[in-house]
Chains A and B, each alone.
Chain A
Amino acid sequence: DTGVSQNPRHKITKRGQNVTFRCDPISEHNRLYWYRQTLGQGPEFLTYFQNEAQLEKSRLLSDRFSAERPKGSFSTLEIQRTEQGDSAMYLCASSLLGPREAFFGQGTRLTVV
């Protein structure tokens, strides 16, 4: 068990470009969550998957954001036409079913210049 892995750890992109982040959850975990954390704030829920199904999306997740979890394994979060307001730490977490501990990855820090 290597924990939740996120790549890349850091990403600097120009405004208007598209970016994609990857999350590899703990292998037996059914649930996968994406959160966004801006400076001085706690993480905010974006979306979650149970296996390959995306079951809930936050209103924070604009049309420029899309997430996938093909085959219920790794997940990707894509941001199209990035804006400076997208600069944040994007955190992925996974858990088993039920009220279990969510294990977080180290995050991907996005900077839009």
Chain B
Amino acid sequence: AQSVTQLDSQVPVFEEAPVELRCNYSSSVSVYLFWYVQYPNQGLQLLLKYLSGSTLVKGINGFEAEFNKSQTSFHLRKPSVHISDTAEYFCAVSNSGGSNYKLTFGKGTLLTVNP
């Protein structure tokens, strides 16, 4: 079984400040890792993914994440946030050795960017 823990349910920051959203996972097998963003009353949009290779992954909208296997973490970062980044962010894992690639999500982190 896999699980994802997003350590902060809410993160308030000021515009142009840096932000880090934390994600830890638990799995007995190798995993793929994802960050999705959800705007109010919308579906989920992929920000970035780690499948293999470089542990530093760059995504859309200036976001990046680093896979740390020893700490089982996949924290999301952005050096300077905008008002438009206000949304719910979900970390997710899937089993890299399986065949269905279903996603197990964390509970989400609400990022609020204030002017």
Interface: B17 (CB within 8 A): no
Contact A99 B90 (CB under 8 A): no
When distances are taken between beta carbons in the complex, the residues of chain A under 8 Å from B14 are none
Stretch of A12-20, A61-69, A71-79, A101-109 that contacts chain B: A101-109
Contact B100 A41 (CB under 8 A): no
How many chain B residues touch A (CB < 8 A): the figure is: 24
Stretch of B68-76, B79-87, B104-112 that contacts chain A: B104-112
B63 to nearest A CB, angstroms? 15
Contact A43 B42 (CB under 8 A): no
When distances are taken between beta carbons in the complex, the residues of chain A under 8 Å from B107 are 40-42
Contact B43 A104 (CB under 8 A): yes
Of chain B, the residue at the smallest CB distance from A105 is B43
Given the known A-B contacts A101-B49, A106-B42, are A56 and B100 also in contact in the complex, defined by CB atoms under 8 Å? Answer: yes
Query: Which of B43, B46, B49, B105 touches A42 (beta carbons < 8 Å)?
Result: B105
**Interface secondary structure of A, over-half rule:** strand
Q: Which of A16-66 contact B (CB under 8 A)?
A: 31, 33, 35, 40-45, 48, 50, 55-56
Of chain A, the residue at the smallest CB distance from B43 is A104
Contact A4 B43 (CB under 8 A): yes
When distances are taken between beta carbons in the complex, the residues of chain A under 8 Å from B105 are 42-44
Bound together, the chains give a CA A95 to CA B103 distance in angstroms of: 12
Interface: A110 (CB within 8 A): no
Contact B51 A42 (CB under 8 A): no
Of chain B, the residue at the smallest CB distance from A33 is B102
Bound together, the chains give a CA A98 to CA B49 distance in angstroms of: 14
B24 to nearest A CB, angstroms? 14
B residues near A (Cβ < 8 Å) are 4, 32, 36, 41-46, 49, 51, 90, 92, 94, 96, 100-108
20 contacting pairs across A/B (C-beta < 8 A): A4-B43, A31-B101, A33-B103, A35-B103, A40-B107, A42-B90, A43-B90, A43-B103, A44-B105, A45-B104, A56-B100, A56-B102, A93-B43, A93-B44, A95-B101, A99-B96, A102-B46, A102-B103, A104-B36, A104-B44
